Amino acid sequence: MAALTWLLIPLMAAIGAGLWGSWANRTRKARGDGPELDGYARFREAMERPSSRT
């Protein structure tokens, strides 16, 4: 019986990790990639500009 108790610990940890992962990812789908892509476009424009030093 003690062995079954020890096997329940990782099972409960896996269930808890799955619940936490789904909770932590709940807002990521709604936001999308818009802000990140806008920031990357600004970064690319800045890197493509010629430097002011000659």
Residue 21: phi and psi, rounded to 5, are: -65, -40
Name the strand (E) or helix (H) holding 4. Answer: helix 2-24
- The stretch 2-19 carries a mean pLDDT of 95
What pLDDT score was predicted for residue 54?
A: 57
CA distances for 21 relative to 16, 31, 36, 42, 53, angstroms: 8, 17, 22, 31, 48
> Which two tokens mark 21?
């992962």
pLDDT of residue 52: 72
The pLDDT tens digits of the residues spanning 17-49 come to 999 999 888 766 566 677 788 889 999 999 998
Full-model pTM: 0.48
